[in-house]
Structure 1
Amino acid sequence: MSTPLAVDTALTVLAAGLIFLWALVLGIWKYRQMATSADHLAHPYVDIAHRAALLYSFATMLLAVFVELSAWPTAVNLTAAAVVVAFFVLAIATYIAHGIRRDTTNQFEHVDTTIRIAMAALIVGEIGGFAVLLAGFVAGQFF
């Protein structure tokens, strides 16, 4: 019998697994578009959604390692990881929406205030959330 993971680590690993499963399903959508299009290419945002989900699933597993080795309380680790994962999921969902609508091949072609605010939140959330986990790792492993 294996040793159970702490709840913050277990939930982060679960998120990684769910994002990876999502990536595999997105791969079916990408394949279908490639198989049926005249140029044998999927819409750029279908391709981006698939690749981003694959990368974010592994990035989420990396977060889980930092969660597990962090000195911070469970609530701090879980919140920091959840913020980062939420932005990963929102990014994938945005790519899927563009893939479904086929409305653009570059979502930054017409940047407005909403996109600027969303990108600022993403930058603060992803970097800030990971910085909390990295600091917890450093505190737990070196001090």
Structure 2
Amino acid sequence: MEASQFALISAGVFMLVGMLTGWWKYAHIARSADAIAPAYVDICHRTALMYAFACIVLQQLAMHSRWSHTVNLLAVAIPILFFASAVATYAIHGWLNDTDNQLRQPHRLGTKTVPAAAVRAYMLLLALGEIGGLLVLIAGVTM
């Protein structure tokens, strides 16, 4: 699969997830006495929509990048996989309604806690993967 095709399909999937989580958010609002959804249901909805558009930016960069097919695909896929893992994490927290800040310690996941070192390692890898992939694509366009 070409990098631009992967990014475009991913954009569509994130848009769909954003729309579906919009209904999930509305269902919470409609049932809630104070007309609000759990924090991470709202975050999941907005983030999925935002990542749909971020995938279009990645697609455009990949289409104009001079790197090889493999380099472009990795530079697109790595950030998108981290986008997906973030949305999945937000959905889990929304479903469990276990926190309003997943980075507050102790890091809760339902009734369990996640080791702080694991959260820090994930956040570091996420930043490296997302920023690194984007930098590779920008370099491929500007070279």
Q: 2:23 aligns with which of 28, 33, 38?
A: 28
Match of 1:95 among 90, 99, 103: 90
Which residue is 1:120 aligned to? Answer: 124
Percent identical residues: 41
Offset from partner CA, 1:43-80 (integer Å, 9 cap, x none): 00000000000001000111000000000011110111
Gaps of at least 5 residues in structure 1 are 1-5
Q: Give unpaired runs (5+ residues) of structure 2.
A: 108-115
**Kept in 1: contact 2:3–2:77 (CA 8 A):** no
SS in 1 for 2:8: helix
- Greater strand percent: which structure? 2
Q: How does 1:68-83 map to 2 (within 5 A)?
A: 68-83=63-78
Distance in 2, matches of 1:40 and 1:81, equals 38
TM-score by length of 2: 0.91
Structure 1 match to 2:33: 38
Find the counterpart in structure 2 of residue 3 from structure 1: none
- Cα distance in 2 for partners of 1:133, 1:7 equals 14
One-letter code of the match for 1:123?
A
